Amino acid sequence: MISAETLELSKIAEEYGKKIAQVTKRVIICAGTGCVANGSLKVHEEFVKKIAEKGLDVVVELKEEKKSVYVSKSGCQGFCQMGPLVTMLPENILYTKVKPEDVAEIVEKTIILGEAVDRLLYKDALTGQSCKNTEEINFYKKQHRFVLKQCGVIDPEDIAEYIAQGGYKSARKAALEMADKEICDEIIKSGLRGRGGGGFPTGKKWEMARLQPKGKKYIICNGDEGDPGAFMNRSVMEGNPHSVIEGMIIAALAIGADEGYVYVRTEYPLAVKRMRKAVSEAEKIGILGKNIFYSGKSVKLSVMEGAGAFVCGEETALMASVEGKRGMPGPKPPFPVQSGLWEKPTVINNVETLANVPLIMAIGAEEFRKMGTAASPGTKTFAVTGLMANTGLIEVPFGTTLRTIINDIAGGVTREDGTLWPEGFKTVQIGGPSGGCLTKEHLDMPLDFDSLKKVGAMVGSGGLVVMNQNTCMVRIAKFFMQFIQNESCGKCVLCREGTKQMLAMLTDITEGKATEETIDLLKKLANAVQKGSLCGLGKTAPNPVHSTLRYFQDEYDAHIKAKKCPTGECKHLTSITIIPELCKGCTVCAKKCPVGAISGERQKAHTIAQDKCIKCGVCIDACKFKAIRR
């Protein structure tokens, strides 16, 4: 590692360039959490082993200049459904669903002969054609990867590669060439809005903190990403941790802070590990610590693990947690920029917001504003999950339509068995559990902060959960309410008790116990919780109820009035029946039934006594002839 006395970004970049120039082949293996869970580390080990067996020099770290095959790890490459992913350079080939047993063939055909292994290429779901690389795959072609450009490419644990790609130039410029007001003005001109929820103007927040009396101030990166199905911030921290650190340095210089915290939920062990290593590497070469870039200014950063409480994503609860207290929200005002961590002015930005900052400083505010919309400039990352052909991590300009994301990027809605269902789209939950539903009428609406707010939804941190026509919306509202109720810190009576009672009413509806009065009471209680709760979690807790009632009132009516679940997902409102034509009279179902509701003679069609049936579904699972259905 280069010492602080010889710190020169250009020199580090030059030395890295000499090393990488000697690499004859590079194998980039996705080592984001998803691919790691699918065995990518074993794939990495197998590549090292098989390449060595061929008599080639193989390295896993660039420590010297020598001819070699470089087998490196990256963060999330985005195409999660197709992992583990392996990129081959200079052939520019992307292999999907790679297993250790595939490695020998890849080494022989691609590294030795320079040819592609066709069976491991992505096949387009509609055309069936093989796609050699990201330039040919719609999932990537339709995106605009700005923040995610280096994620899935660079080695996140090698600071030299980040620097070689232009990293830390913006922080150095901010430290040596710009006054604090100039930095704030540039971010204000860019129109950057917070990517963690409500979209508050980032530069304005910084300016408010900058204008506070001089003294101790703090910068905090909020990496407490708790929305079900969301993994955008995790992927940035895992794939490009130095971009977050660089954004924090610039933010600290803008407000006059000399200390900061990266608050990461403990369920993200890989993100914690890589953030800590990145901080350590930056300290060793004088990018963090005292006298950064020999500017006379200091910025110290620490990585802290949160205990996994969803409410700690709220600013005041997060600060309480950092202080060693129970993570519970406090009243505002005063706002954190006035009195935050240990009662000192504090700026809190989320991971994606901070990762945008060095890029904006590099290209300029005007260039940044060319992306997105006038009121919502730039791009947004989304974690696209649910019933679609291609799920994963994407990035698109604000103003992109839901139709483009679902059909062009994600490949279309599917049935539960994975087959495409062109007319199957029902709704998408956007913005996490406290977000809202978007339906067919919103497919061509531009996705940005203000458009979503008008229809009762929000960008949130960027979770997109797509559901098909077989999804019961009452059950979905119940699912999200269960999550919110579990995560309520309990400080507010309205949030603590209100969410509990809303969950109880939703449960009654799904079990056929509700009356028409239940809906009126549910609406009144939802409004009360929204108005009377202290923090953002409580104020947005009723959103799943509000949005599903707004767009799917007919499903609620069917549950209450007809005592029927239109999709058949609520088992208490469905009947389990035996189809006589398919029943072989094998008696397996009767033996498995825990309440003795099934009767019939051997080799003759059986029947189910509906008054005894508890709708557990054991018989459905037991029948190998598929003669029993809901």
Q: DSSP for 511-560, please give it.
A: TT---HHHHHHHHHHHHHHHHH-SSHHHHHTTHHHHHHHHHHHHHHHHHH
Please indicate, yes or no, whether residues 270 and 355 belong to a single structural domain of this protein: yes
CATH number at residue 309: 3.40.50.11540
Instruction: State pTM to two decimals.
Output: 0.92
Extract the tokens encoding 62. 């660039």
| CB neighbour burial string for 210-231, b if at least 16 within 10 angstroms, e if fewer | bebeeeebbbbbbbbbbbeebb
Task: Indicate whether 175 and 324 sit together in one domain.
Answer: yes
DSSP H or E stretch at residue 506: helix 493-510
Specify if 48 maps to a domain: yes
> Residue 113: helix, strand or coil by DSSP?
coil
pLDDT value for 332: 86
Domain count, the chain: 5
**374 falls within a domain:** no
Which H helix or E strand runs over 259? strand 259-265
- Residue pair 41/192 in contact (Cβ under 8 Å)? The answer is no
Q: For residue 432, which phi and psi values (nearest 5 degrees)? A: 80, -170
CA distance 265 to 341: 18
Asked if 95 and 52 touch (Cβ cutoff 8 Å), the reply is: no
Same structural domain for residues 301 and 418?
no
12 domain-assigned: no
* Tokens representing residue 367 in the block: 């260039």
Residues 554 and 616 in one domain: no
48 and 90: one domain?
yes
**Looking at the chain, how many residues does it have?**
630
Under-70 pLDDT residues of the chain: 1-7
Structure tokens at 123: 């096949």
Q: H or E element: which one contains 265?
A: strand 259-265
Q: Given the structure tokens 């579904």, which residue do they identify? A: 617
Contact between 380 and 462 under an 8 Å Cβ cutoff? The reply is yes
Boundary-marking domain end, from 89, 104, 137: 137
Half-sphere exposure of 447 (CA within 13 A, CB side): 31
In a domain, residue 373? The reply is no
**C-alpha angle with apex 354: 344 to 257, nearest 5 degrees?**
30
User: How many whole angstroms separate alpha carbon 543 and alpha carbon 89?
Assistant: 47
Helices (H), 323-397: 351-363, 365-368
Q: How far is residue 383's CA from residue 392's CA, in Å, rounded to a whole number?
A: 6
CA distances from 366 to 180, 188, 247, 297 (A): 19, 11, 19, 28
CA distance 147 to 303: 21
Distance, in Å, from the CA atom of 524 to the CA atom of 51, rounded to the nearest integer, reads 66
Residues 452 and 439 both lie in one domain = yes
Q: Domain ends where: 430, 447, 471?
A: 471
Is position 358 within any domain? Answer: yes
CATH of the domain at 464: 3.10.20.600
3-state secondary structure of 348: strand
- Within this chain, do residues 541 and 579 fall inside the same structural domain, yes or no? no
Q: What is the pLDDT of residue 99?
A: 98
| 454 CB-near residues (< 8 Å, 6+ apart) | none
> Across 480-613, where does the E strand assignment appear?
577-578, 598-599, 607-608
| Domain CATH number, residue 489 | 1.20.1440.230
Residues 388 and 362 in one domain: no
Asked if residue 151 is part of any domain, the answer here is no
Report the distance separating Cα 237 and Cα 305, nearest Å. Answer: 13
**Last-in-domain residue among 314, 341, 368:** 368
Q: What is the pLDDT of residue 7?
A: 59
Claim to verify: residue 297 and residue 320 sit in the same structural domain = yes
Give the CATH number for residue 594. 3.30.70.20
- On whether both 229 and 361 belong to a single domain, the answer is yes
Whether residue 420 lies inside any domain: the answer is: yes
If asked whether residues 579 and 598 sit together in one domain, one would say yes
How far apart are the two ends of the chain, measured CA to CA in Å?
64
Q: Exposure of 64 by Cβ count < 10 A (0-12 exposed, 13-18 middle, 19+ buried)?
A: exposed
Q: Two tokens at 616?
A: 């557990």
Residue 543 lies in a domain: yes
Tokens of 557: 């009516």
Could you tell me the residue range of the domain that residue 75 belongs to? 18-137
**Do 547 and 608 sit in the same domain of this protein?**
no
For 249, 263, 450, the CA distances from 193, given in Å and listed in that order, are 18, 20, 12
